[in-house]
Structure 1
C-alpha cells in the first residue's frame, strides 16, 4: 500500500503537546513535552490500528535518517501515530505545538538571567537533537516562515543545528528524527510550507479510516457497544457530507470517541452527540439545525 493510503489507520485523538514559551525570561518549553527513552520503554503501547505500509515506511525513514511530514485532517490521529512510532522505535519523543508567535529562539534556545548570571538554555529542538529523540512539530504551518527555516539543516543530509547565539553547531545524535504534521485542507487558502521546506520531507497522507475500522476504534477507545460505535460512525459519514455545504471542519474520529465516552458514562446518545460532535463544529444556526436533525434521525 502506498504512502497516499497510509493514513487510513485507526488513529485517535492527538495528544497534548508541549507549548514552547514566548516569554523572553521564561524557560523554553516545559519538560512535560519530552518523554525520555526509559519512559518510552516502560510505557504502555499507544493504541494504533495500522491500515497498510505506513509503519514500515516510517521505520525505513527512521533507519535512513529521513525527515517525515504527515498530512491529514484534524483528529485523524497524526499525533497518535507519532506516539506509537516513538514507542515502537524506543526513542524519546519531544512534541512542540506550533503557533504564529513561535520564534526560532523558542525552538533553539536562549540566554536566561539567573542568580549566577546569564546562562544558556536549550530549546526543545536542540534538546531533541542532542538526545537522539523524535522531534514532532504539530501543525508546523502555524509557525512563521523564518522560524521553520531553522529546521532546514536538521532535515537534510547535514543533520546539524547551528546556534548563532553561542557559536555552537549541534550534530544530531543517532536516532534523531524530525517529524512535522499539518492539516492541508484547512491551511490551503491561509498558509503553506515553502517548497524548499516541503522537499526535505517524505510525506505520508492521512485521512479518516474506513467505517469498519473507525467503528473498531470508537468501540475500543470510547468503551461503547459495537452497535453504538457503528451508529456514531454512520452519523459521522452523514455529517461529513455537509462539508460541501459550508461546514469548515467535518467531525473527526476524536469527536466520535468523545461522544462515545459520554454515552458510556450514561449520557443519552442524542445529548452526547449534540455536546461532543455538533456544538464543536459550528455556530451557524442553519448548519447546527441540520446536524441536530441528523443526530436525531440516527438515534431514534
Structure 2
C-alpha cells in the first residue's frame, strides 16, 4: 500500500467545515459522497484528507464502460495458468485504503450496486467469481464524487445507493478565497488572479444561458500558469478558458469580450 500513499501535502484551501466533517466521518468509517461542479476541488480535497490521515488512496475514474469486474477483479492467464488479480475496490477493502470513485454516476448502475455490501454495517465485499468474501479492513473507507449539474433520469445514482453515504456539497469558492487559490497554484500575482476570477464569475452567470458549465477553478489555474510562463494574458485566457468550454461562435465572442474587459 505504500505505493498509494500521498507523498507530499496537496494544497487545499478549506472554505468551510468540510475538513472537520470529513475527519469525523472517517472516524466512524462513514462512506462519503462529494457533490459539486467540475474542477471545484473535490479530488484535491480527497487527496489532502488521505495525506492528512496518513492513509493510502486508490482512485478510480469511472466511465460508462466500466464493469463490476473492473472494480472487483478478475482471473488472468499467465505462464503458470490462471491467477486472480484484485480490482482497485477489492485492493482498498482488503488492505485498508481510501477508495475514491470519481464521477461515479458515469458507471453503469449494475456496477455501482457492487459497492452496496461495503457501505452498510456488513462492510464485506463478495467476490462471487473467486468464491471469497472479503471483510473490509478497519481503515477502509469508500468515497464517491459526482457533478449534480449533469444528472438525468438515465444517469443518476439510485436512492438505494445514495442513502448509504454521507454527503458534502462543494462549489466554487468565494472571490477572495478563489483568488488566493489561483495565485498560489499558478504563481501569478493577486491582481492577475483577481482578474481571472472576475472573468470566471461573469462566465458562471451564463450557465444555463448558452453554457452547460461555468469556468472552473482548475481552468483558472491553467490560465494563470500560462501567464506566469510569459504567455500574453489574452492568449492564455483564450486557450485555457474560452476555447475549451464552448464551440459556439457567439458564445466565444461574448467570452472573449469579457476577457478583453480585464486584460
**TM-score band, normalised by shorter chain:** over 0.9
**1:294 corresponding residue in structure 2:** 258
1:244 positional shift: 3.2
Partner Cα separation in structure 2 for residue 128 and residue 87 of structure 1: 16
Report the 3-state secondary structure (helix = DSSP H, G, I; strand = E; otherwise coil) of the residue aligned with 2:34. strand
Report the 3-state secondary structure (helix = DSSP H, G, I; strand = E; otherwise coil) of the residue aligned with 1:58. helix
Matched, 1:200 2:164: yes
Unaligned residue ranges in structure 2 (runs of 5+) = none
Partner Cα separation in structure 1 for residue 175 and residue 11 of structure 2: 18
Unaligned residue ranges in structure 1 (runs of 5+) = 1-35
Output one character per residue of 1:20-78: Cα deviation in whole Å (capped at 9) or x when no partner. xxxxxxxxxxxxxxxx347637x221101112211111111111011000000000010
Partner Cα separation in structure 1 for residue 199 and residue 64 of structure 2: 34
Of 215, 219, 230 in structure 2, the residue corresponding to residue 266 of structure 1 is 230
**1:221 corresponding residue in structure 2:** 185
Q: Which runs of 4+ in 1 moved over 6 A?
A: none
The 5 A counterparts of 1:53-202 are 53-188=17-152, 190-202=154-166
1:189 positional shift: 5.7
Report the 3-state secondary structure (helix = DSSP H, G, I; strand = E; otherwise coil) of the residue aligned with 1:244. coil
**2:219 corresponding residue in structure 1:** 255
1:94 positional shift: 0.3
Contact 2:4 2:58 in 1 (8 A): no
Work out the number of aligned pairs and report it: 263
Of 187, 206, 212 in structure 2, the residue corresponding to residue 242 of structure 1 is 206
1:236 positional shift: 0.6
Contact 2:124 2:134 in 1 (8 A): yes
Output one character per residue of 1:143-181: Cα deviation in whole Å (capped at 9) or x when no partner. 000000000000111110000011100001011000000
Partner Cα separation in structure 2 for residue 39 and residue 225 of structure 1: 34
Q: TM-score, normalised by structure 2?
A: 0.98
Output one character per residue of 1:178-232: Cα deviation in whole Å (capped at 9) or x when no partner. 0000000122465110000000000001000000000000000010011000110
Report the 3-state secondary structure (helix = DSSP H, G, I; strand = E; otherwise coil) of the residue aligned with 2:38. coil
Q: Given the superposition, is the C-alpha separation of residues 118 and 37 from structure 1 closer, same or farther in structure 2, using an over 3 Å criterion? A: closer
Report the 3-state secondary structure (helix = DSSP H, G, I; strand = E; otherwise coil) of the residue aligned with 2:156. coil
